[in-house]
Amino acid sequence: MKNQRRMFIQKTGMIGAAAAFSPHVLLSATNPKKEKLGVALVGLGYYSTDILAPALKLTSHCELKGIVTGSPEKIPKWQAKYGIEDKNVYNYENYEGIANNPDIDVIYIVLPPSMHAEYTIRGANTGKHIWCEKPMAPSVADCEAMIKACSANQVKLAIGYRCQHDPNIQAYMKVGQERPFGKVRMVTSAAGYFDGRTNHWKQNKALGGGVMGDMGVYALQGARLATGEEPISVLAQASTTRPEIYHEVEETMMFQLEFPSGARAACHTSFGINMNHLQVNYEKGWLKMEPHSAYSGNNGSMSDGTIINFPIENQQAKQMDEDALAIMNNTPMLVPGEEGLRDIKVVEAIYKSAQQNCMVNL
Ligand code: NAD
């Protein structure tokens, strides 16, 4: 295809830029200068164990120095695997002791969503920087309290939206901002997987479960990032095919969004269906991504023949290195708390729409 061109990562691209930067001043009361930030993972479940801890080994500007866990039986394995010293092991009660630990610069909250606000606020009060997993929190009020606590303690807050660090996602964000194909007319996005578990916090309302916060934020982000706009109204419908499991929270959510420019989005998310795609129809063209929010392999194409297929070694390592550099260089976080809050404002409206069976304006 002669008009087909490939988008190569530039030497000055994000991976190269991360390596080229040298840490200048580290804003930490306890550690005036460091080459790598010490990270403490809070919550040692799937994402910490299988994804973040191995990714930390691949980073250039971070190292896993501490753990915070309510499961003492996990401690010896983590200490043996990652060389974590006894003095850097905490539980949920003595967590505040991190305040006096110069080895730890960043606290990364990887707990069920209902615990994000408490552990972010307690963490910010220790004076350490905070990275918090998505969804930021179950409510707008929680998100605002998290932002306030980090601001009051003069620490940075980043939300674990790994995709925004992925150059393949940045490619469609750029099209949304520069609009080479004119205005966005319609976005279709989907994010879901079949979850066969029958007893997990994702099925528990009090712990912040429900597919909308867990996977729905990827479909929502697809629409928000592809348009570069914030929705002005939502219309949503929740459903389940497994009421014996999903009786407190929804298994599936379908939601429509309307944007100020007139663009519309039809979004789907589910714990019962494997799906991961994005399609954007513009006035004069289209863009398709499949997958669009995976850990790796996000790729797509555009109607002018452009292929979106940037190489990326490890999304989470890149995310953590870029967030570490933002702390070291005192520059803005790529995905600050305010971005997590923007999503939760829409998520709250989506739940209201589904419950009241009506359109909700934002
Ligand atoms: P998980 O269930 O595997 O782990 C949760 C951890 O929290 C466990 O270590 C558990 O012991 C601990 N915990 C403490 N109190 C608990 C309680 N009352 N109930 C249940 N667990 C409790 O979950 P996970 O998949 O690791 O998810 C953790 C966070 O990471 C969530 O916010 C999730 O959305 C996020 N996550 C993000 C991504 C991503 O791609 N960014 C991927 C997976 C998970």
Q: Does some domain include residue 172?
A: yes
Proportion of the chain above pLDDT 90, given as a percent: 90
In angstroms, how far is the first alpha carbon of the chain from the final one? 44
Contact predicate 229/260, CB 8 Å:
yes
Give the residue, by CA position, lying nearest to ligand 1 atom 8: 45
Is 127 close to ligand 1, i.e. is its CB under 6 Å away?
no
- Counting atoms of ligand 1 from 1, which one is nearest the CA of 213? 34
Proportion of the chain above pLDDT 70, given as a percent: 91
Residues 10 and 102 in one domain: yes
Does residue 133 have a pLDDT over 50? yes
Q: Does some domain include residue 320?
A: no
Mean pLDDT across the stretch 148-163?
A: 98
Domain hosting residue 149, numbered range: 2-155
CA 283 to chain centre: 30
Among 128, 155, 182, where does a domain finish? 155
pLDDT at 76: 98
CA of 150 relative to ligand 1 center, distance in Å: 22
Give the residue, by CA position, lying nearest to ligand 1 atom 42: 47
Residues 15 and 131 in one domain: yes
Residues 140 and 34 in one domain: yes
Is 207 close to ligand 1, i.e. is its CB under 6 Å away?
yes
What six digits make up the tokens of 42? 């809070």
Give the residue, by CA position, lying nearest to ligand 1 atom 41: 160
pLDDT at 22: 30
Is 53 close to ligand 1, i.e. is its CB under 6 Å away?
no
Does residue 345 have a pLDDT over 80? yes
Residue 34: which pLDDT band, with cuts at 50, 70 and 90? confident
Q: Which residues contact 94 (CB under 8 A, 6 or more apart)?
A: none
Active site residue ranges:
134, 218
* Structure confidence by residue, pLDDT tens digits, 222-253: 999 999 999 999 999 999 999 999 999 999 99
CATH assignment of the domain containing 266: 3.30.360.10
d(CA 156, CA 324) in angstroms, rounded, equals 10
* Structure confidence by residue, pLDDT tens digits, 183-230: 999 999 999 999 999 999 999 999 999 999 999 999 999 999 999 999
**Which residue has tokens 């007319």?**
185
Among 155, 184, 207, where does a domain finish? 155
Give the residue, by CA position, lying nearest to ligand 1 atom 35: 133
Is 165 close to ligand 1, i.e. is its CB under 6 Å away?
no
Domain count, the chain: 2
Q: Which residues contact 361 (CB under 8 A, 6 or more apart)?
A: 232, 233
What six digits make up the tokens of 211? 């597919």
Does residue 327 have a pLDDT over 50? yes
Q: Collapsing DSSP states into helix, strand and coil, what is residue 42?
A: strand
Is 133 close to ligand 1, i.e. is its CB under 6 Å away?
yes
